Structure 1
Amino acid sequence: MTKARDLMSRPVISVGPDDTVREAVTRLTGKGFAALPVVDEGGRVVGIFSESDAVRATLRAGDGGDHRDDPVSTAMTSPVEVVSPGTDMVTVAERMLAGRLRCLPVVEEGLLVGVVARRDLLRTLLRDDDVVAADVRALLDDYAGSRRRWRVEVTGGAVVIGGEFADRAERAVVTALAHTAAGVNAVELRPVTGLALRWDD
């Protein structure tokens, strides 16, 4: 199944808690993002600065002041929800929908390693099977030294790889490679006889 590591965008554009709201808004609008993670000097996520946070910070109803040069820490949303690289796509989607989140930082050992935005989810969900098949074929051809050794078919993100496999180790490598292609949610290996291989054979 597709994991957060397969969906996330990197390198990550972020802002620091001491950056100004003005600087953060410039990065948001300049890169076309809906939200940015706020990261401290140690690389740890301390908040999220979204378009909504930007609007609230620049307008601050009623006080008449200009808050564009205030630090991001005064406007960001905190605490922030994060996921690990191994979190599956379904869980990522459910958490984003439940929390109405524009993006989810991906954190490994406490440090920011990527971001999953709504568009990353949509790109994977809407990926054409032909595109997924082409990506898997390219990965397998590279592994095989540009010799096409396997037949690849994709239906709804489920990949079937047919052909000859040297041994158990090669089957494991082929399966792992196929899983790295975006949009892949299942992989099945079939020998030339057309019978599905079992992992205990």
Structure 2
Amino acid sequence: MYARDILSRPVVTVRPQTPLREATALLAEHGFAALPVVDDGEHVVGMLSESDALAAESARTGTNVEAVMTSPAMVVEPGTLTGVIAARMLALHLRSMPVVEAGVLVGIVARRDLLRALICDDASIESKVRARLDNYTGSRRQWTIAVADGRVSIRGRFADADEQRTVSALAMTVEGVEDAHTVPESPPAPGQAKAPPLSEWLQRKADETIG
């Protein structure tokens, strides 16, 4: 997933010449952690954070945004991976980052956008893994699937160790899965049917596609 998939827009911005009190009011009104500062061409020239505004007010310095903003601003491009954005935010203690294309502001990504994407992505992966396993076993298994940060845990009854390995391998074929493991809850029920070998299942699917 990339910045373009989760960015928010339109973006509330201020100009370098915006009075500091006016910019501070915007921060308070919208509950933002920071505001991008842009020039007449919508190029990001800085960021005005809550900390910048508070420090300026306490020191009674500056009458406009340009005097207290942080510059240059740390920005990302639409094609930047969300994992990269998250790492930069944590390393630099940022709560939001402007998204620019050819230097022009096109959106902004906040930590809440990353968290929302993480939740949605894990839910999507869980759904795809469940569909893949149901297709493989014919819905004969009642497995509990949990996903966190792309790591899949599949809990329930398995016919044997071979089936556990097969199920893990199938889960790993789903895009976005970083790791997959099984957690057997109890021995298989007497007479529990074993799903077909993975190679046999794949061949059957290939035959169905050709047919």
Query: Shorter-chain TM-score category?
Result: 0.5 to 0.7
Q: Distance in 2 between matches of 1:132 and 1:18?
A: 49
Higher relative contact order (CA 8 A, sep 6+): 1
Residue 3 (1) aligns with residue 2 (2): yes
TM (norm. structure 1) is 0.62
Partner of 2:41: 42
Contact 2:125–2:175 at 8 Å: present in 1 too? no
- Compared CA separation, residues 28 and 132, structure 1 to 2 (3 A): farther
Cα displacement string for residues 18-37 of structure 1 (whole angstroms, at most 9, x for unaligned residues)? 00111111111111111111
Residue 107 (1) aligns with residue 100 (2): yes
TM (norm. structure 2) is 0.59
Contact 2:15–2:37 at 8 Å: present in 1 too? yes
More helix as a share of residues: 2
- Compared CA separation, residues 17 and 97, structure 1 to 2 (3 A): same
Runs of 4+ in 1 over 4 A off after TM superposition: 130-133, 154-158
Contact 1:129–1:156 at 8 Å: present in 2 too? no
SS in 2 for 1:126: helix
- Compared CA separation, residues 185 and 55, structure 1 to 2 (3 A): farther
Q: Distance in 2 between matches of 1:185 and 1:3?
A: 15
Partner of 2:63: 70
Question: Alpha-carbon deviation of 1:131?
Answer: 10
SS in 2 for 1:81: coil
Equivalent pairs counted in the alignment come to 142
Structure 2: 5+ residue stretches without partners: 128-145, 151-173, 178-201, 207-211
Aligned-pair identity (%): 50
For the aligned residue pairs, the C-alpha RMSD in angstroms reads: 3.1
- Compared CA separation, residues 194 and 24, structure 1 to 2 (3 A): farther
Q: Which of 1 and 2 has greater Rg? A: 2
Partner of 1:172: none
- Compared CA separation, residues 98 and 194, structure 1 to 2 (3 A): farther
Q: Please tell me the residue identity of whatever aligns with 1:76.
A: M
